[in-house]
Structures are given as structure tokens and as C-alpha cells.
């Protein structure tokens, strides 16, 4: 389960977050720890959630600029159980994206060589050939593609179509194919019934999935997550 802001009525109550997550079968959360080269203070709450029985991962949004390893390293210093690099269009459009990705990963691994790492890329690989999927794959990162079926156009990119794209590219990547743990859409036009169906499919096919985002989930969506 992905958390953007750890603030507000529920977000500031660590007991409420842990209670809701554990009651609905959620064993881990991912909290935003930075944007570009700038750390977000909110990740300091990670230790409190870990003490309440949750695994806590950090995630940061990346543009490919200098110093973007800083919030990642800071998150590990604050007790992150692992890190997720959110890599989207800005990174895909860099002419030296593979080099930038290599440098980013090297800076983090130099400090934390055994760290659990993943990346959350744009899901339609064919549309973003400049995004350095293979660079992240080559370092053994888990892939968390953003399977936002409603955001991508209702009926255009169904879950089956998105899974098919990834499985086709996995065959192309051969030995460097990553394990997949998709992120599903929990906002906008998404419905609880569809979210539940997508969750069940991903659990069966890949062993699990996550959902973006905590602050947009309805009670019915929480029930669908629990029942999946």
C-alpha cells in the first residue's frame, strides 16, 4: 500500500494506519521519502509503523538529476526496509537515461550493497523506449509497473493487455527479466469490484500486488483488498 503524505487526521495517527493495514491483510506500506534530490521529512514516521508490525519501504520520485541518491540514503538511515525508485516520463526523455540510472543505483549500493530495491516504471514499455528498464533489471531490481487500467483509458489498456506487454518484454529481456509485483489503481474511475478482480488476478499470476494510493481508497476498496 502506497502512502503519499503521512499527515492529516489519519495519516498522522500511526496506530490507525497500522490497525487498518493489518486488519485488511496489508503487511507493508511504502511512504514517499523524497522528490528528486530533496528528502521529505515525513519518512521519520517509518520507525513508528515498523514498531506496530508493518514492513515500511521508502519511495522517491526521480527526474534523473544530480544528487537524487540523497533522499534514498536518508530513508535507509531512518530505517527503511527497502526502497522503490519511481521512474516515469521525465527520466524516459533523458538522452543519457541508462547512464543516469546506473549512477543513481551505484551511489545507493555503495552505501547499502544488500539493500532490497525495486523500481516503479511506466507500464506501457513500447511507448517509452528511452526509460532504462534494462538498467534496473540488470541490477536485479523487482519491477512494480503502474497498471493503472482506468487512468490509461477504460477498455484500452486492460489488466490482461498490460500483463501481456510485460510478459512479452520479459521474454525479450531473457535472463535479465525482473520479477513483477504490479501497482494497481485505487483512485479516479476505479471501482471496488474491479480493484478486487485485479488484485485476485495479480495474486494468482504474480503472487501479489500493491495499490496506489492510501488516501484515495474507499471503505469498499479496503474490503476488496482484504477479500482478494
| Amino acid 11: pLDDT | 46
> How large is the average pLDDT for residues 155-166?
95
Question: Domain containing 83 — which CATH number?
Answer: 3.20.20.80
Distance CA 73, CA 183 (A): 24
Whole-angstrom distance, CA of residue 14 vs CA of residue 109: 30
Question: Between β-strands 38-39 and 55-62, what pairing exists: parallel, antiparallel or unpaired?
Answer: unpaired
Using only the alpha carbons of the chain, give its radius of gyration: 17
pTM summary value: 0.95
- Domain interval for residue 129: 2-227
pLDDT at 12: 56
In total, how many domains does the chain have?
Answer: 1
3-class state of residue 28 by DSSP: strand
Q: What is the mean pLDDT of residues 6-31?
A: 80
What are phi and psi for residue 212, nearest 5 degrees?
Answer: -110, 125
Residue 80's pLDDT is what?
96
- pLDDT digits 0-9 by tens, 74-131: 999 999 999 999 999 999 999 999 999 999 999 999 999 999 999 999 999 999 999 9
Amino acid at each position: 500500500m502506497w502512502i503519499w503524505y503521512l499527515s492529516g487526521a489519519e495519516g498522522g495517527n500511526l496506530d490507525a494506519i497500522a490497525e487498518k493495514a493489518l486488519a485488511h491483510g496489508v503487511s507493508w506500506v511504502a511512504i514517499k521519502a523524497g522528490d528528486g534530490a530533496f528528502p521529505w521529512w515525513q519518512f521519520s514516521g517509518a520507525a513508528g509503523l515498523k514498531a506496530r508490525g508493518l514492513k515500511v519501504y521508502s519511495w522517491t520520485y526521480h527526474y534523473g538529476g544530480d544528487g537524487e541518491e540523497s533522499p534514498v540514503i536518508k530513508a535507509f538511515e531512518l530505517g527503511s526496509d527497502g526502497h522503490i525508485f519511481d521512474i516515469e516520463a521525465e527520466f524516459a526523455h533523458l538522452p543519457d537515461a541508462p547512464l543516469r540510472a546506473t549512477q543513481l543505483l551505484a551511489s545507493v549500493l555503495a552505501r547499502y550493497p544488500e539493500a532490497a530495491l525495486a523500481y516503479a516504471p511506466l507500464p506501457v514499455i513500447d511507448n517509452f523506449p528511452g526509460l532504462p528498464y534494462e538498467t534496473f533489471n540488470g541490477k536485479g531490481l523487482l519491477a512494480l509497473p503502474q497498471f493503472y487500467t482506468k487512468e490509461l483509458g477504460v477498455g484500452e489498456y486492460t489488466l490482461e493487455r498490460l500483463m501481456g506487454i510485460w510478459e512479452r518484454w520479459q521474454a525479450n529481456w531473457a535472463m535479465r527479466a525482473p520479477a513483477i509485483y504490479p501497482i494497481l489503481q485505487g483512485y479516479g474511475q476505479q471501482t471496488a469490484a474491479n480493484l478486487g478482480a485485479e488484485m485476485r488476478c495479480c495474486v494468482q499470476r504474480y503472487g501479489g500486488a500493491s495499490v496506489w494510493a492510501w488516501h484515495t481508497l474507499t471503505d469498499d476498496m479496503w474490503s476488496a483488498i482484504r477479500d482478494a
